Structure 1
Amino acid sequence: MSFLFLKNRDLNRKKNKKIALQFLKDFRRKLHYRRDLLDEAKVKKILDYLQKLESAIRSPQQNLEAVLNDGEKLYRSIFTESKWSGFKENIEVLFVALVVALAIRAYFLQPFKIPTDSMKPTLYGIQVSARNEQPPHLLRRILDFCILGKSYHNLSLKRGGILEKIEGKKFLFFEYSKLTFESGESAVLWTSPHLLEYKLGIRPGMTFEPKMNVLNFEVETGDQVLVNKFIYHFRFPKRGEVIVFKTTGIEGIESNLRLQGIEGSQYYIKRCVGIAGDVLQIRPPYLSINGSITAPNPMMAKIESQKEGYQGYVILPNQQYLVDPSETYTVPPLSLWAMGDNSPDSLDSRFWGPVPMQNIVGTGFIVYWPFSKRWGIIR
């Protein structure tokens, strides 16, 4: 027997051993995955073969290639693959991924969209601004939306007239508004009726001229954040943390929502500025906590500095609590005091009182989209 033959045989042996180890691993995984669908006789056949394969891998005297060939025949005879098997496995993987995603959303991280400017400039709600020029070309519009969450809207009318109704509709995941005029003309804008009414002031009964660019505006979507739902299972919220809570049972909020035609509880996002037992006063631009105007954390100090777009804490007309600098309020047990960073333009605990701890969903963790200067960890 030549040296070259022995060398080639050793190389083939090493190669077959590597293949055999992978085959052993794959066969075991398949058995684990399908065992509950196999009868005892087939399970015994597989276990006997796996034992034989392990022995062949360890023993240099056995013909590993022949054992692998036997295993391939056994595998094909037991695990017959239909033409739909790949599709079924993909569906199973997608199902598992969906279950995991729902579990994460339920117990760990939940996406949330900032609807208003009450947390500005920390977090931005939906921004609408008028335009004089035509929308940019298609590629630019796609990039602007993907990166900055910016969309462009334009309405031109041939007949115009009195706006009869605005209907909210959906196409797949996209919301749009259908505008119908008394002249019989109708038009579509790819934005919500709520935005048209409360951001642009467009309501039925208004008259529109028949011309180009009756409406020409751009919309920047509100910041999309992930809410950490896990952390408050282990500790209470702290002063200065951004919190998300449900409006359930807070009548001052829900009565105002009903006036806007919104039924049911909503999610709000504010900053926790007071915890149970704190004695609060508003002494513009400061929020006094337990007699001290020294901010308990850097973020609240930044708000009170009246710099970088922050305007401090103020007293607004018609607020129900802390209506003048001499008034104090003690946060009740199992409650928090929540205020917006944009104090002059925020409906918060000054109007509807404390937030019950049972309503707290979690803390604002990260802005994940759009990719603006606010992208990243929420302070």
Structure 2
Amino acid sequence: MFGPFASVQRKMRQNATNWLELAEKVEHYRRDVLSASDLRELQDQQCTVKQQLKSKANASDLKLSIERLEGTLRKSGGTLYPKRSSVEYVEFFLVAAIVILGIRAYFFQPFKIPTNSMWPSYSGMTGAVYPDEADEPGMIGQAFNFVTQMAQPRRVDAPVAGEVRVPVVRVNEKRNYVPYRTVRGKKWFVVPTNLREYELYVDDEKVSVRVPADFDLERVLLDSYFDGVETFPLPASIPVGKGVLLPTGKQVEEGDRVLAFDILTGDWLFVDRISYHFVKPSIGDGFVFRTDNIPRLHAMMPGPNEQYYIKRLVGAPGDTLEIREPVLYRNGEPIEGSDAFAKNAERVEKYPGYRYEGDMGPGQTLTVPEGQYMAFGDNSASSLDGRYWGGVPEADVAGRPLIIYYPFTKRWGRSP
């Protein structure tokens, strides 16, 4: 019998064996610093316990011998025995760190969605807009939002009286954008990091808004000032590449609230790093990969090469892909394998459909090279993906998303 049902004799024999292992460790590591008498005493007591184990001595005799051995170890064990609590804590945290790193490297890796290239399947950082100052949460509400969604509040007040205006530049017939610059700042007031700095205007006075480098303020501005339209309503006379200070119609007095929103964290996932060691990725899988060996991507996005991206697998080696807006075709047929494909094709539930961008214009096809996979974002309108930089080397595939474990919203649970 084992565990709580083991006999007293068996438990004591196991206890004696454990003490012998410790005694042998002390003898091995400290024999050169122990006096001859202490070393002989330690060896004699070990010999006694070994003989009792061999002769199957009763539990009470073993207990007395263990107590004598423990006294000798306490006297001669140095830092090996008795252990100080600080040493035990260090050992515990080192072992825990090794286990966690091992799990992360080979089994389940945490991953945070930074952008909205996979929206609405996965959410990157988003903004919760408060149109009126009365709508803004108080201290308790802010604390709740921080715990459940790691909300970071941003509040901007008017330095002068006047109309709020937004600088907007025309990109093409379909899209305009708000310029920004990258500045150095602090994350959580401590860690150095890059930030985006946008500039709004009240009358002719600049007002700066700083957000994380992966956060796009445009959606917040559209929801705050332009009734949530899809792009900024520039006059048709503005040529491509040119911009204006776009009036918002919002008049403020000095000290009034210009902009109020919370930055909500993106989805936090656990990524399964095991499965793809045994089976090939399937079309339609969520697809996490390293970007180390995608040179066209690094030419477009200078910075650290070793990053992880998440997209959806749309092509295996030898597949031919074509976009016929809004449908993605694989080997001449509408692509299948994920609900996101069908929803994009029908442009339902906020899926925008696949768009002509990058290397995939009208009538253009793309064949996936051998040894590579092709990955597209579900949010085709706002995804830097294989249309721009080609395939992902098979060796750089990291895994597939398993569950969304944070934030605590209706999105929590199994990954789509």
2:65 corresponds to which of 37, 52, 67: 67
2:186 corresponds to which of 169, 172, 176: 169
1:229 paired with 2:273, answer yes
Q: Distance in 2 between matches of 1:188 and 1:294?
A: 44
Cα distance 1:22–1:151, how it changes in 2: closer, same or farther (>3 A)? farther
Q: Distance in 2 between matches of 1:133 and 1:23?
A: 68
Q: Distance in 2 between matches of 1:83 and 1:156?
A: 62
Once the two structures are superposed, residues 280-316 of structure 1 have per-residue CA deviations (whole angstroms, 9 ceiling, x without a partner) of: 222333322222226145553344343333343x223
Tell me which residue corresponds to 2:92.
93
**Aligned ranges 1:100-111 → 2 under 5 Å:** 100-111=99-110
Q: Distance in 2 between matches of 1:143 and 1:80?
A: 50
Q: Which runs of 5+ in 2 are unaligned?
A: 1-5, 33-38, 162-179, 200-206, 222-244, 246-251
Shift of residue 378, structure 1, vs aligned partner: 1.8
Shift of residue 340, structure 1, vs aligned partner: 1.0
Q: Is the 8 A contact 1:16 1:64 kept in 2?
A: no
Tell me which residue corresponds to 1:321.
359
Q: Distance in 1 between matches of 2:113 and 2:381?
A: 17
Q: TM-score, normalised by structure 1?
A: 0.74
Q: Distance in 2 between matches of 1:335 and 1:164?
A: 35
Q: Is the 8 A contact 2:156 2:257 kept in 1?
A: yes
Q: Distance in 1 between matches of 2:24 and 2:64?
A: 25
Q: Is the 8 A contact 1:148 1:370 kept in 2?
A: yes
Shift of residue 124, structure 1, vs aligned partner: 0.3
Q: Distance in 2 between matches of 1:56 and 1:95?
A: 40
Tell me which residue corresponds to 1:283.
324
Shift of residue 221, structure 1, vs aligned partner: 0.5
Tell me which residue corresponds to 1:133.
133
Tell me which residue corresponds to 2:405.
368
Cα distance 1:35–1:348, how it changes in 2: closer, same or farther (>3 A)? farther
Shift of residue 198, structure 1, vs aligned partner: 7.2
Tell me which residue corresponds to 1:271.
312
1:211 corresponds to which of 239, 255, 271: 255
Q: Which letter does structure 1 place at the counterpart of 2:145?
A: D
Tell me which residue corresponds to 1:239.
283
SS at match of 1:96: helix
Shift of residue 353, structure 1, vs aligned partner: 2.1
Q: Distance in 2 between matches of 1:157 and 1:33?
A: 71
Tell me which residue corresponds to 2:120.
121
Q: Is the 8 A contact 1:247 1:266 kept in 2?
A: yes
Q: Is the 8 A contact 1:177 1:191 kept in 2?
A: yes
Q: Which runs of 5+ in 1 are unaligned?
A: 1-13, 182-186
SS at match of 1:222: coil
Q: Is the 8 A contact 1:240 1:296 kept in 2?
A: yes
Cα distance 1:374–1:345, how it changes in 2: closer, same or farther (>3 A)? same
Q: Is the 8 A contact 1:153 1:218 kept in 2?
A: yes
Q: Is the 8 A contact 2:45 2:65 kept in 1?
A: no
Percent of residue pairs bearing the same amino acid type = 28
Q: Distance in 2 between matches of 1:156 and 1:50?
A: 79
Q: Which letter does structure 2 place at the counterpart of 1:73?
A: G
1:309 paired with 2:339, answer no
Q: Which letter does structure 2 place at the counterpart of 1:365?
A: L
Q: Distance in 2 between matches of 1:289 and 1:195?
A: 32
Shift of residue 84, structure 1, vs aligned partner: 7.4
Q: Distance in 2 between matches of 1:227 and 1:176?
A: 26
Shift of residue 173, structure 1, vs aligned partner: 5.5
Q: Is the 8 A contact 1:20 1:57 kept in 2?
A: no
Q: From the two aligned structures, give the one with the greater strand fraction.
A: 2
Q: Is the 8 A contact 2:340 2:378 kept in 1?
A: no
Cα distance 1:100–1:55, how it changes in 2: closer, same or farther (>3 A)? same
Shift of residue 90, structure 1, vs aligned partner: 0.7
Q: Which letter does structure 2 place at the counterpart of 1:267?
A: Y
1:143 paired with 2:144, answer yes
Q: TM-score, normalised by structure 2?
A: 0.68
Q: Distance in 2 between matches of 1:79 and 1:164?
A: 62
Number of residue pairs aligned between Structure 1 and Structure 2: 345
Q: Distance in 1 between matches of 2:147 and 2:192?
A: 15
Once the two structures are superposed, residues 142-169 of structure 1 have per-residue CA deviations (whole angstroms, 9 ceiling, x without a partner) of: 3322222323233457799xx9995312
Shift of residue 140, structure 1, vs aligned partner: 3.3
Q: Distance in 2 between matches of 1:35 and 1:172?
A: 48
1:50 paired with 2:49, answer yes
Q: Which letter does structure 1 place at the counterpart of 2:399?
A: G
Q: Distance in 1 between matches of 2:15 and 2:358?
A: 72
Q: Is the 8 A contact 2:149 2:264 kept in 1?
A: yes
Cα distance 1:91–1:369, how it changes in 2: closer, same or farther (>3 A)? same
Shift of residue 212, structure 1, vs aligned partner: 5.1
**Aligned ranges 1:182-201 → 2 under 5 Å:** 192=212, 195=215
SS at match of 2:333: coil
Cα distance 1:89–1:45, how it changes in 2: closer, same or farther (>3 A)? farther
Tell me which residue corresponds to 2:297.
253
Cα distance 1:166–1:102, how it changes in 2: closer, same or farther (>3 A)? same
Q: Distance in 2 between matches of 1:178 and 1:328?
A: 36
Q: Which letter does structure 2 place at the counterpart of 1:291?
A: G
Cα distance 1:349–1:63, how it changes in 2: closer, same or farther (>3 A)? closer
Shift of residue 115, structure 1, vs aligned partner: 1.4
Q: Is the 8 A contact 1:158 1:211 kept in 2?
A: yes
Cα distance 1:263–1:92, how it changes in 2: closer, same or farther (>3 A)? closer
Q: From the two aligned structures, give the one with the greater helix fraction.
A: 1
Q: Is the 8 A contact 2:46 2:69 kept in 1?
A: no
Q: Which letter does structure 2 place at the counterpart of 1:144?
A: N
Q: Distance in 2 between matches of 1:173 and 1:127?
A: 22
Once the two structures are superposed, residues 66-125 of structure 1 have per-residue CA deviations (whole angstroms, 9 ceiling, x without a partner) of: 435424423322335689711011101111211222222223332221111111111001
Q: Is the 8 A contact 2:121 2:340 kept in 1?
A: no
